[in-house]
Structure formats: C-alpha cells, structure tokens
Amino acid sequence: MEKTVIFDWDGTVADTETLILQSWIEVGEKQGLGDLRDLCYRCIGTTNLATRKIFCDKYGADFPYDEYNKEMLINFNNKLNKDGIPLKKGLLELLQFLKENNCNIAVASSTKIEILEDEANMAGIRDYFQVIAGGDMVQKSKPEPDIFLKACEMLQVSAGDCYVLEDSLNGMRAAHRAGMKPIMVPDLIKPNDEMIKISLKIFPSLIQVREYFQEAWSV
C-alpha cells in the first residue's frame, strides 16, 4: 500500500501559530480591543474569511477587520524577516524519514497557496513536498474536508490511505470527515474529548510521530 502523509502548516510544520497570536495580541493592545487570545484560539485552522467572520461576530459588522489584519501581518512578517521561519521540533528528521521510505508528502492548509509556497521556500523544505494545497484552492475551509480531499486529488491517492498531522480541532475535524487517519500533535490548543475521540493517535511532538511510523512500517 502506498504511504501518504499530509501535514497542516501553521503549528504543525512551521512553529508560527505563536507568532501569529503574539502579533494579534500586539494589535489588540494598541487598538484597545482587549486581550484577543481566546478569540484567536477560535480562529486556528480557519481561512482569513472565516477569521473575519469570527472577529465581526464579536465586534460588530462594521469592525475594520481588514485594517487590523493588515497591521497584524506587518507585525508577523517583521518577526519572520528577523528570525526566519521557525520549524517544529523533529520536523526535518520526520521529513527525511518519510522521503527515505518513499512516502507521498503533502501540505494541506487554510493558508493561501502563495504564502505557503513562499514560506516553504524560505524555510528550505519545499522540495520535500510533492503537493502543497492552500486554502484559496477550495471553497470551504476546515473543519470541512475539502482541502484534504484536494491534496488527495493532486496526489492521486485515496483519502482512506492518508495520515494527516494536525494541531487544531478544525483540522482534526476536517481530516476525520475526509475519512483519513488523523494524528494530533498539539500546539497552542490542548486536545479535548472530541479530539481524543476522532484521533488515531496523539503525540507531544513530531519526534514521537517519526518513532510511531518507524515501528508501524517495520512490521
């Protein structure tokens, strides 16, 4: 059976969720919006359009989301330009292991494809991925399964044969609804009862994910 592993990006491949959260908190403090931490947690794993709706539901339909989001992105990009793309612990070793075992490797993220391509190239890991599917390539974002099914379509593989590595509830729901094998590697959000129920496995880091695949595929 062909082996396929699909990665989420922010919080799973790139250690960027914390930077995004910090950038939004800075905007919230500057603009008098209060602590945006809990609101941002609800946005993890969603598209920019879904995030806009979450903010407007909180602050009203006339909330200038695009203006504040632009300010957040300036903060975020300044952090990336200063320190580069931070990668999750154990990622490079896992990618190399998957490559050596002839796995299909893909990214399926709510982030726009242009940003994913730029960040993958900036981090020096683009060549590991046969396919990168971005949130602007589908109509419905996570928790709907569309982005994962798009990656399967691009790889020409069956959803049921794919492992998915995710850090968010929305991502886990999407992978589960796609009929895939969701593995959670928590980042900012601790697994709740639903995540535990729908996950194949939960591991503290990508190091344990590699060890799991090593053991499972050696049989």
CA dist 171 and 165 (Å) reads 9
Domain 4-15+86-218 architecture: 3-Layer(aba) Sandwich (3.40)
Of the candidates 73, 82, 83, the residue with the CA atom closest to the CA atom of residue 111: 73
Q: If you average pLDDT over every residue of the chain, what do you get?
A: 94
Supply the pTM of this predicted model. 0.88
Q: What is the pLDDT of residues 187-219, one digit of tens each?
A: 988 999 999 999 999 999 999 999 999 999 986
CA dist 133 and 157 (Å) reads 14
Of the candidates 126, 109, 105, the residue with the CA atom closest to the CA atom of residue 117: 126
Count of CB atoms situated within 10 Å of the CB of 216: 11
Q: What is the pLDDT of residues 45-74, one digit of tens each?
A: 787 888 999 999 999 999 999 999 999 999
Please state, for a pLDDT cut of 70, what percent of the chain lies above it: 100
Instruction: For the chain, give every domain's residue range.
Output: 4-15+86-218, 16-83
- Cis check: omega of the bond before 143, within 30 degrees of 0: yes
User: Strands across the sheet with 4-7, in order?
Assistant: 131-133, 104-108, 4-7, 162-166, 181-184, 201-202
All residues at 6 or more sequence positions from 215 whose CB lies less than 8 Å from its CB, including other chains: none
Question: Beta strands of 45-186 (E only): which ranges?
Answer: 104-108, 131-133, 162-166, 181-184
Q: Can you say whether the dihedral through the CA atoms of 141, 129, 215, 191 is positive or negative?
A: negative
